[in-house]
Structure 1
Amino acid sequence: MPKIHRIQQILENSLFAWLGLALILAIAGNSIEIPSWLQVVGRSHPLLLHFPIVLLIFGVVFFWLPDKNSEVKEIGSFSLLIGSNFAGITVIAGLLLAKEDYEGSELNWHQWMGIAAYGISMLLYFYRNSKAQLLKPLSLVLVLSVVVTGHLGANLTHGSDFLLAPIKSNETPKVQLADARVFEDLVQPILESKCQSCHKEGKIKGELRLDQLEGIRKGGKSGPFVLAGNTEESLLTQRIHLPKEEKKHMPPKNKEQLTEEEIEILTAWVNSGADFEKKVRELPAESDLFMLASQKFTNEKTYDFEEADPDDIAELNNFFRKVNPLYPESPALEVSYFGISAFDPNSLEDLKKVKEQVVKINLNKMPLEGIDLSFLKTFSNLEELQLNFSDLTDDQLAELSQLENLESLAISGNPISDSSIPSILKFKNLRKLFAWQTGLSEAGKQELKEKITDVEIDFGFNAANVNYELNAPKLVYDEILFQDSTLLEIKHPIKTVEIRYTLDGTKPDSINSPLYTEPVWVKNTSKINARVFAKDWIGSAEESILLFKSGIHPSEVTLLKEPNKQYKAQEGRTLNDQIKGKNNHTTGEWLGYQDNPFDVEVKFDPNKRPSRVVLSLLYSESAYIFPPQQAEVWVKEGTSWRSVINEVPEQSTEAKNARFEALAYDLPASDFSSIRIRLTPIAKLPSWHPGAGSKGWVFVDEVLLED
């Protein structure tokens, strides 16, 4: 018993030592230099905190047990004493841990609530034998403070919605493309889900805070988080493109990684200017960011009105009028008229049967002169009205100005004069106005531009003395990896342009390059480049695609050097699985080499000897993935190997977006049974690269044999 009593005294005295040390750290901790060995104690905070929680609550229970005998009281006292000591140690460890990239009001509340819980546990222990009426209420306050402290700590570690996340709805509200904002709806959700757990109030690693715009604009101690248009100097794009095993790669490898789509969005956002206010619809339609957004956000606006009677819709459809849902399963309807000679003005009245559901009407080129259009005022949900080249007059336009929900109005090719300007100004929700070749004067056009600045107005194109660049063409194909051949189509919205193309990776010109007149059969691995040209226009930028022919299927593929353990995919099977990797090295479809060269032996059916070998590669300079420093190919003739290729591929001179590339080599006509290929990664990155002097990477996903 004396020994137990002695231990009890030591533990009781320790309580005051822990309290004093905790108050010193809480009040004056910023002026104290913490040695590294104490940082280890601080990092044990998550481990220690479970002990006091259990022991303190266990001790509190004894305050509520009736008829306590001396032995029961002793158990409760020791539980409270030991729990209080653990609470003190845990508080001190937490205060030490807080010196490592933690700050903010939530941290302060967590700290002082922890100290308060510790102080209340001390009071309960030392006054446990008194008859005070406040002991039981105080024990409940202790339990409450422990719960609140734990909740605040969980918020710091896991996020503010960690506790209630399982019962919250996982459904993400649909955002329309027309309403979506670039940062708020496209970029910020990625930062919230993948970055803010380490960079928010209470936990600001690297002095970088991402839960507020001010922190994002400010950046961290390593540099600016984003620099508009500069992916090389922006901390965001630097870190997300580093190989996963690099120490500075973000998110850390033990955290959930960014998807390929998320990496593309963040990179395109920085490239486009890292704007925090712009709407998606304000982006150029051909930009990478707009294309990514158009895949993510819906153009399918939701409507809360009831569907029209199917019999009514069926009755309205005939050879000169089509009434269809705006998109499958939508209650909204669009109406289109065809054929001037078949147009019956009285048929417009028929649309009243579905006036609640009609949101779009196309009356382009229909003869509307003198027709009363006032009935359209009852179409309360009409959003788009196309009246181009329909002989529309100023008076008729005035009748339409009461359409409160109209967002898009097309009146090109009509004798509309400046008298219609007051009518146009009355459209409350107008977003787009198309008014080519009207009777509006230049002064009238300028007046509209000045008075409805929030409306996108298109008065047509005036090419006088101005040369504009054409949009790039669109390349349409079935598969990026084809067996024998694939059909390639090249399209452009302007039908009168000339389309020129090449199949060897060279830049097309307007004179010597083949003229595209019909779809092209691609029969070998080819890099297709296409441009469009037209008189008085600047030729478009190149549009490129690399199409791969799978060709002869190897009978055996043997890796002679092991890939990096982080990027080993399906090892040798990866190189002939006929699955083209995505343009992101972290998707698990690529073999990555840095310390070893890529070295492989490929065998094939002796009756199907290949004439060319093609290596499918990934280049992404910002992720340290470069062309190989050296490419070597041998063929096995009999029992000996003969070198047939030994070259230095052209190296990168700037950082570009991740992309597919290929190295293709012709093979000799001799009788050989195997091919050996070796690609040596670049030993030192060039001086222009942020990682100058570091080792580069080689990434391969297919070895293709063409006959």
Structure 2
Amino acid sequence: MRLLSVIEFLGHFHPLLVHLPLGILLIALLLQWMSRKSKYVSLIPAIPVILLAGSCTAFASCITGYLLSISDDYDKSLVSWHMWMGIGVALVSLMLYAKEKNPAFAINKKMLSLGLLVLLMITGHLGGSLTHGSDYLTKPFKQIFNTDSIVNTTIKPISNVQESVVYTDIVTPILQTRCYSCHNANKQKGGLRMDEISLLMKGGKDGKIIMPGNAGESELIKRLLLPTDNEHHMPPKEKPQLTESQISLLHWWISNNADAQRKAKEFAQTDKEKFLLTALQTAPAVHNERTDIPATPVARADEKIIEQLKDRNILILPVAQNTNYLQANFVSDSMVDKKDLQLLVQLKQQLIWLKLHNTNTNDEALAAIGQLINLTRLDLSNTFITDKAISLLANITNLQYLNLSGTKITEAAVASLKKLPQLQSMYLYNTALSSKDKATIKQIFTKTTIDTGGYLVPFLKEDTTLVKEVTKKK
């Protein structure tokens, strides 16, 4: 096991080394071409030195590339071609160096130079295919002409989601846009391919990633739910991440035995799943830039405070790359106390997203939450807040997203938030609001999308409930 770790470590130097021979040898060929002119004849002594450097780095790249190929999983045929072309680069560059040092060497110099250039191009292309997929060169053109491509991360809306095949029309686009880049025919990180259902169900080196009927024990879901800074989180934090809705849909599919043939209407659906499925029928809104992340830079937060919050099982993460703005999530701790709130208030300049879903948050806590004036997203769903102190949220003038679902708030309390200038979305399902109250709220918040639940899915004649009698064994 230790030897394999050393091999893997050395193999990971390949991406670092592989660009050196490409650049060095191309410079050597350029100087060789320029030296044909009398005014550049002074470059000739430098050419053998550069060729030797390029040849040495080419051999180093070949060795580390081989080690990488046996410690990770790539398409064997593509790896083989890439390896032999790389070896060809190393050998031809060494022969060209010998020719430069000894013009009497019996081989055509022009043919060597031309052959080296061709080998460099082929080797580089094959390496790009291994890393980015065989269509990496054509992807930009597919995007320009709006043809289908894995790189197109916008999933097309489904005209009739209940008639769609769940795996083909819902699961596959999610995996295609978030997982295929590392788990495809050319590259299989961890020995896992996800671009075919049989291979997806087979799993990788560490076993199966999907346990049909048991999403909670499925490694796929476990990895998706890990914090992004965890080394086992998937996709890697530098890659585009799945949304909560997409994870929920994958969880739903696996819980329904990960069936690859059945349609959505044949799967069990809670109100939550009905809502998520209905949302797939509408094309997602396209925003040129995020408005829930302030454009104004902010200083880094106090690391000591962040560490204290993490020690209290509170998830603190940046909201995006290259920003000091933070999000706080109580996903691992349902008990919010005064100490937690005091620490959060000390991050009020950097904290813009706060999720308190399913915690013991009550009216007393709203006094502290109201001080988090830079919040743009606040989730108070399924907490113990009431009308008593809800007006304190009116101080958070940057708030764009507010979730009050599953609370005991009334129409009067919600109306007290009407002066929030930037509120774009508010969720109010499973509250004490009557149908009349909901209509009133929508009239008050004319510029805000109000979600009050109550989604209806048409009843289909094909819908059936199968009841089986269970006979106990004697």
Considering the TM-score relative to the shorter chain, is it more than 0.5?
yes
Q: Secondary structure at the match of 1:598?
A: coil
Residue 152 in 1 paired to residue 123 in 2? no
Cα distance in 1 for partners of 2:270, 2:251 equals: 16
Q: Residues 49-448 of structure 1: matches in 2 within 5 Å?
A: 49-64=18-33, 65-66=35-36, 71-104=42-75, 105-128=77-100, 129-130=103-104, 134-169=108-143, 171=146, 176-177=159-160, 180-280=164-264, 283=267, 292-297=276-281
Q: Which residue identity does 1:74 align to in structure 2?
A: P
Given that 2:182 and 2:189 are in contact with CA atoms closer than 8 Å, whether structure 1 keeps it comes out as yes
Instruction: Go from structure 1 to structure 2 and tell me whether the alpha carbon gap of 1:296 and 1:665 turns closer, same or farther (over 3 Å shift).
Output: closer
Which residue of structure 2 aligns with residue 552 of structure 1? none
The Cα shift of 1:56 comes to: 0.8
Change (3 A) 1:130 1:186: farther
Alignment of structure 1 residues 619-630 onto 2, 5 Å: 619=358
* TM-score normalised according to structure 2 size: 0.57
SS at match of 2:384: strand
The corresponding residue for 1:16 is none
More strand by share: 1
Q: Which residue of 2 aligns with 1:663?
A: 384
Classify the secondary structure of the residue corresponding to 1:662.
Answer: coil
| Map of 2:316 onto structure 1 | 567
- Distance in 2, matches of 1:294 and 1:106, equals 42
**1:349-376 Cα shifts (integer Å, max 9, x gaps):** xxxxxxxxxxxxxxxxxxxxxxxxxxxx
Say if 1:567 and 1:592, in contact at 8 Å, map to a contact too.
no
SS at match of 1:98: helix
Distance change (3 Å), C-alpha of 1:221 and 1:232: farther
Measured after TM superposition, the shift of residue 84 of structure 1 is 0.6
- 1:61 Cα deviation (Å)? 2.8
| 1:298–1:705 CA distance, 2 compared to 1 (3 A) | closer
> C-alpha deviations, 1:391-449, integer Å up to 9, x for none?
xxxxxxxxxxxxxxxxxxxxxxxxxxxxxxxxxxxxxxxxxxxxxxxxxxxxxxxxxxx
Paired position in structure 1 for 2:465: none
Partner AA of 1:154 in structure 2: G
Offset at 1:235?
Answer: 1.6
Question: Does the 8 Å contact 2:318/2:326 carry over to 1?
Answer: yes
Give the CA deviation at 1:124.
Answer: 2.0
Decide whether aligned partners of structure 1 residues 39 and 224 sit closer, same or farther in structure 2, where only a CA change above 3 A counts.
closer
* Structure 1: unaligned runs, 5 residues or longer: 1-31, 300-558, 571-586, 604-614, 620-626, 636-657, 668-673, 675-699
One-letter code aligned to 1:83? G
Report the CA distance between 1:193 and its aligned residue. 2.1
The answer for the alignment partner of 1:43 in structure 2 is 12
The one-letter amino acid paired with 1:196 is Y
Residue 91 of structure 1 deviates from its aligned partner by 1.4
Deviations, residues 563-586 of structure 1 (Å, cap 9, x unaligned) = 44853689xxxxxxxxxxxxxxxx
| Post-superposition offset of 1:48 | 1.6
- TM-superposed CA distance for 1:62, in Å, is 4.3
- Secondary structure at 2:216's aligned position in 1? coil
**TM-score, reference length from structure 1:** 0.40
Mark the CA change 1:233 to 1:38 in structure 2 (over 3 Å): closer, same or farther: closer
The 2-side partners of 1:135 and 1:117 are apart by 15
Matches of 1:272 and 1:184 in 2, distance apart?
A: 15
Distance of 1:230 and 1:106 partners within structure 2: 36
RMSD of Structure 2 on Structure 1 (CA): 4.5
Letter in 1 for 2:337: D
* Separation in structure 1 between the aligned mates of residue 306 and residue 158 of structure 2, nearest angstrom: 51
Which residue is equivalent to 2:357? 618
CA distance in 1, matches of 2:122, 2:245: 38
Amino acid of the structure 2 residue aligned with 1:215: L
Does the CA contact (< 8 Å) of 1:180 and 1:297 recur in 2? Answer: no
Give the Cα–Cα distance (whole angstroms) in 2 for the partners of residues 35 and 227 of structure 1. 29
Shift of 1:292: 3.3
Q: Match of 1:598?
A: 336
Give the distance between the partners of 2:274 and 2:385, measured in 1 at CA.
Answer: 34
1:298, 1:596 → 2: CA distance? Answer: 34
- Rate the CA distance shift 1:101–1:560 in 2: closer, same or farther, 3 A: closer
Name the SS of the counterpart of 1:223 in structure 2.
coil
* 2:351 matched residue in structure 1: none
Q: Tell me: higher relative CO, structure 1 or 2? Use CA pairs within 8 A at least 6 residues apart.
A: 2
Shift of 1:701: 8.1
Aligned CA distance change for structure 1 residues 123 and 569 (closer, same or farther; 3 Å): closer
